[in-house]
Structure 1
Amino acid sequence: MEYDEVTPKSYPVNLIKKDWTQRKLYFRSPAKSMPEAIHDMEVLDDDIWVITNPKSGTTWMQELVWLLMNDCNFEAALSKDLELRSPYLEFDYLMHHDVERALKPVQDLASPRIIKAHHSLGLLPAQLWQKKPKVIYVFRDPKDTWISSYYHFVNFGFQYGKSLEQYIDEVLEEEAPKRDPILHAVEFYQLRNEPWVYYTSFNQMKKDLRKVIDDLSKFLNKTVTEQQMERLLKHLSFEEMKKNPTTNHRWEYAQVQHPNRGKEVHNFIRCGKIGGHKEEMKPEQIEKADRLITERLQANEITLEQLLLLN
């Protein structure tokens, strides 16, 4: 995938003090005026933003947040695709490259809006830094996210015919240096103690989903009964999510018009493992990926265990 380097009109200097002019930011090509449109968009005080690197447990968290904000209305959740209940900020633009219509799915959403985004902090709306609505961030080991992304893009047709090994090589050489997953997480990790930010990890959700639900309900000022908790745990289990058509991005899949779409099919909720990359990546690729990740961790004076909340 091609990326354009962009320079925002302003930076979140009120949140993190650093030389933001040295922070390189990239937007999927052709960027056109879309980064500026996002920078200038209106953010509502009661917005809830779910922000992640791609394939980090985003859908899992979105479904949880939507249910908490809608009084655990499971019937409503099962009757409408998640992408329509909680839009992906960048999706319409990625499909149509039309800046004029790109933000309409979010703008037309009833409040409180639950918005998904994969942008780094510096490419999010300026009003988000100023109004400080609720922000939820989920981090996952980049190696697992890259494996999941491969199968996702094969489904859409963009990577059809390309081997996993080829894809990972391209990610490590071309994409990861620009869409740095470590720095993406570090900037939100630095904000984790802010009252408007809830930072967690895929590992924590796998380890103790009940605790994540409990913590998140407090963060969102929602009450969950024990009966609702039991149903949430079942509804959000890997087995239930995998067979739930509204959480497997079928609506999103139908919007993609790539000629190779559907020539190879993998379920969106596919593996859901911690460390699943070890079963799919060659040892030499894991070593290469670890070198890149370690380099970025050291540059930011942080460990992977810290970002994953393992210590």
Structure 2
Amino acid sequence: MEYEQVTPKSYPVNLIKKDWTKRKLFYRSPTKSVPDMIHDLEIFEDDVWIVTNPKCGTTWMQELVWLLMNDCDFEAALAKDLELRSPFLEFDFAAHGDEKRALQRVLELPSPRIIKSHLPLALLPAQLWQKKAKVVYVFRNPKDAWVSAYYHGVTVGFQYGKTLHQFIDECLEKQAPKKDPVLHAIEFYQLRNEPWIYYTSFEQMKRNLRGVIDDLCKFLNKSITDQQMERLLKHLSFEEMKKNPTTNHLWELTQWPHADSGKEVYNFIRSGKVNGYKEELTPEEIERADLFLSQRLQENQVTLEELLLLD
């Protein structure tokens, strides 16, 4: 996947003390006018935006937030694909390259809108930090996220014919320096005490999902009963999510133009492990990934444990 450098029309200059003009930002090539369209997108007060790096528990959090914002209507959730209830901001342009339909599903979505994005802070709509709409951010150990991205990429055709080890080599050499997962997370981590930002991690959700649900209820000004909590915990369990067709992105698979018969297909909800990368990567690959991450962490004076909320 190729990326090109883009410069947003404005930066969230009042949020973080940094020189935003030196922040290198990349969008999937060819970008056309889509970054500007996203920048100018109107934000509503009851919006909830879920922002993550890819494969960081995004779907898990989307399903949770959608249910909290829709009075735990499990029947409605089970009746309609999640990506239609909570659209992925960048998806339509990525799949079809058509500017006219790029943001159509987001624009037509009824309130309250739950919108997913993998974009860095400065490429998101400017009204997010101007109006301070609700933003939920989820981080995950990049080594686990990269492994998960490989298997998803095989299914949709991005990595067809590549081995995991080839993908990791390309990722560390080409993609990660441009789509830096550490810098992406740090800009939200630094805002975690803002009342409109809720920052968590995949690892924290695995460790204490009940606590994350309680926190989100407070953040979203929602209340649930003990019975609803127990049903949420079951509905959001790995076993239930994996067998739920509405949370496995089956609709999205019909939209990608890369589909070709005979390729390997992996369930979207595939493994769901913390530190599962240790079973997949070689010691040399782990060492290279750790070196890349440690350099980014040191440059930004933060530890991986802090970003994962495990310190």
After TM superposition, the score normalised by the length of structure 1 is 0.99
Shift of residue 97, structure 1, vs aligned partner: 1.1
1:122 is aligned to 2:126: no
CA-atom RMSD in angstroms:
0.8
Distance 1:142 1:205 in 2: 16
Report deviation, 1:259. 4.4
Supply the AA of the counterpart residue of 2:255: Q
Q: Are positions 1:260 and 2:260 aligned together?
A: yes
What is the match of residue 151 of structure 1? 151
Aligned equivalents of 2:100 and 2:160: distance in 1? 31
**Could you tell me which residue of structure 1 aligns to residue 193 of structure 2?**
193
One-letter amino acid of the counterpart of residue 142, structure 1: P
Q: Distance in 1 between matches of 2:158 and 2:74?
A: 33
**Is 1:174 aligned to residue 174 of structure 2?**
yes
Deviations 1:90-148 (A, max 9, x none): 00000111112100100000001000000000100111110010000000000000000
Q: In the alignment, does 2:149 pair up with 1:138? A: no
Q: For 1:213 and 1:167, locate their aligned partners in 2 and report how far apart those are by CA, in whole Å.
A: 35
1:17 maps onto 2:17 in alignment? yes
- Find the residue that maps to 2:198 and give its secondary structure: strand
Partner of 1:296: 296
Q: Which residue of 1 aligns with 2:77?
A: 77
Q: Distance in 2 between matches of 1:270 and 1:262?
A: 19
One-letter amino acid of the structure 2 residue matched with residue 14 of structure 1: N
1:17 Cα deviation from its structure 2 partner:
2.1
* SS in structure 2 at match of 1:255: coil
Could you report, residue by residue, the CA deviation over 1:49-69 in whole angstroms, capped at 9, with x for unpaired residues? 000000000000000000000
Assess if the C-alpha contact under 8 Å between 2:136 and 2:198 holds in 1: yes
| Deviation for aligned residue 1:261 | 6.0
Q: Look up the SS of the partner of 2:138 in the other structure.
A: strand
Letter in 2 for 1:273: K
Aligned residue in 2 for 1:282: 282
Query: CA 1:210 to 1:261, structure 2 compared with 1: closer, same or farther past 3 Å?
Result: farther
Query: Would you say the 8 A contact 2:135–2:196 is kept in 1?
Result: yes
Alignment coverage as a number of residue pairs: 311
Moved over 4 A (4+): none
CA separation in 2, counterparts of 1:162 and 1:203? 28
- String of CA shifts for 1:221-275, please: whole Å, max 9, x gaps: 0001000000000000000000000000000011112143661111000000000
Which amino acid in 1 is paired with 2:231? R
Aligned position for 2:103? 103
Q: Distance in 1 between matches of 2:307 and 2:55?
A: 16
Consecutive unaligned residues of structure 1, counting only runs of 5 or more, are: none
- Distance in 1, matches of 2:232 and 2:146, equals 28
CA distance in 1, matches of 2:261, 2:303: 38
Match of 1:219 in 2: 219
Q: Distance in 1 between matches of 2:29 and 2:156?
A: 18
- Give yes or no for contact 1:238–1:272 (8 Å, CA) kept in 2: yes
Cross-structure match for 1:33: 33
Distance of 1:261 and 1:280 partners within structure 2: 26
Report the CA distance shift for 1:251/1:25 in structure 2 as closer, same or farther (over 3 A): same
Separation in 2, partners of 1:193, 1:259: 42
Letter in 2 for 1:281: L
The amino acid of 2:119's aligned partner reads: H
Between the aligned residues of both structures, percent identity stands at 71
- Call closer, same or farther: CA 1:204–1:18 in 2, change over 3 Å: same
**Once the two structures are superposed, what CA deviation does each residue of 1:60-83 show, in whole Å capped at 9, x if it has no partner?**
000000000011000000000000
Partner of 2:163: 163
1:205 matched to 2:205? The reply is: yes
How far apart are the structure 1 equivalents of 2:132 and 2:175?
Answer: 30
Which residue of structure 1 lines up, in the alignment, with residue 44 of structure 2?
44
Structure 2: which amino acid aligns with 1:26? F
Tell me the TM-score normalised to structure 2 length: 0.99
**C-alpha separation between the residues in 2 aligned to 1:97 and 1:123?**
18
Amino acid at match of 1:102: A
User: Does the 8 Å contact 1:87/1:115 carry over to 2?
Assistant: yes
Counterpart of 2:136 in 1: which secondary structure? strand
Name the SS of the counterpart of 1:277 in structure 2.
Answer: helix
